[in-house]
Amino acid sequence: MGRNVMSYGIYVAGRRPKSKKAVKEAITANPESVRLECTDMIGGRYDGPVSEAPAGRYDFVGPDPFSARNFYGNVVVSDRGVKVT
């Protein structure tokens, strides 16, 4: 599950998103274009496209988890689909 990582980084179409709204719009339009970036130093956590993520909640920070934490959100993956809150 995604809860074990403090905050994931996130990409939309290979670029850092400018806002949480941009992440929401991309998830709605094309979830395959959104990628979760595991920032856990230990590793072993999910890192890849949202469309292939195991069910769970993935907390993210953007635009860059290492240098610019301007917005926060989470991606919830379930059998009902993917949503951003």
Question: Do residues 37 and 10 make contact, with C-beta atoms less than 8 angstroms apart?
Answer: yes
Q: For 19-75, write each residue's pLDDT tens digit.
A: 999 999 999 999 999 999 998 877 678 999 999 999 999 999 999 999 999 999 999
Token code pair at residue 31: 């979830």
Task: Give me the number of domains the chain comprises.
Answer: 1
What SS3 state is found at 16? Answer: coil
- Contacts of 21 by beta carbon, 8 Å cutoff, 6+ apart: none
Instruction: State pTM to two decimals.
Output: 0.86
Domain holding 62, by residue range, is 2-84
CA 45 to chain centre: 13
